[in-house]
């Protein structure tokens, strides 16, 4: 099992902020949106946090489930299209925290806001318009403008914010940790 755990590569922001998930009682489960191989989900589940891993790809969810079993973690898998036009795919007031890493679909932002319960946490990290100098993504539809992420959640309690260049790997990102006001 320890060799499986050594394969885990949770996002550094999540590792740094994981105390928020352990120091207080979340008002519901954590939703890991566009989770891919669910490294973030498994990381939290191993700490005793209830996690729902959501992704469109059944293959990614299958691999995530296999890794979760190898690591001894329990996570719930949810195959869902997060980008249906004109439809909110997320249930209202259902989650105590939402994680979003390396994913941007602007029409989903109001859905995320509605899905998080009052007092719930949001950890969001994705690429900015500076990213193309370091590699993919390059499509401006998937890149944040300067200050855009902070502006999206300006009416929430900001716990942490960063916008700039991160290393290992080198990437241009915006990161926010915030709480929906009660």
d(CA 94, CA 172): 31
Q: What is the dihedral of CA 36, 161, 21, 53, to 10 degrees?
A: -20
Work out the number of other CB atoms within 10 angstroms of the CB of residue 54: 23
The enclosing H or E element of 118 equals: strand 116-127
Q: Respond yes or no on whether the N-terminal peptide bond of residue 16 is cis (omega within 30° of 0).
A: no
d(CA 166, CA 171): 5
DSSP state of 171: E
From first to last of its 182 residues, what are the pLDDT tens digits of the chain? 456 677 899 999 999 999 998 876 788 899 999 999 999 999 999 999 999 999 999 999 999 999 999 999 999 999 999 999 989 999 999 999 999 999 999 999 999 999 999 999 999 999 999 999 999 999 999 999 999 999 999 999 999 999 999 998 999 999 999 999 98
Q: Respond yes or no on whether the N-terminal peptide bond of residue 169 is cis (omega within 30° of 0).
A: yes
Closest CA to 73 of 49, 56, 96: 49
Q: Which two tokens stand for residue 140?
A: 């401006």
**pLDDT of amino acid 1:** 47
d(CA 49, CA 163): 28
Q: Which two tokens stand for residue 67?
A: 């890794």
Q: What is the dihedral of CA 40, 127, 89, 154, to 10 degrees?
A: 100
> What is the separation of C-alpha 180 from the centre of its chain, rounded to a whole number of angstroms?
15
């Amino acid at each position: 099992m320890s060799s499986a755990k050594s394969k885990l590569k949770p996002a550094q922001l999540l590792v740094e902020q994981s105390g928020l998930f352990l120091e207080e009682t979340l008002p519901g489960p954590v939703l890991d949106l566009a989770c891919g191989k669910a490294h973030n989900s498994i990381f939290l589940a191993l700490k005793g946090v209830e996690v729902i891993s959501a992704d469109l790809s059944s293959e990614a969810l299958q691999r995530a489930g296999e890794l979760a079993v190898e690591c001894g973690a329990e996570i719930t898998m949810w195959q869902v299209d997060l980008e249906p036009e004109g439809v909110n795919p997320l249930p209202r007031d259902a989650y105590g925290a939402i994680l979003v890493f390396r994913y941007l679909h602007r029409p989903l932002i109001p859905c995320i806001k509605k899905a998080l319960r009052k007092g719930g946490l949001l950890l969001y990290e994705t690429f900015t318009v500076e990213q193309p100098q370091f590699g993919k993504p390059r499509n401006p539809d998937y890149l944040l403008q300067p200050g855009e992420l902070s502006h999206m959640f300006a009416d929430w309690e900001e716990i942490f914010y960063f916008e700039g260049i991160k290393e290992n790997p080198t990437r241009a990102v915006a990161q926010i940790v915030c709480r929906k006001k009660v």
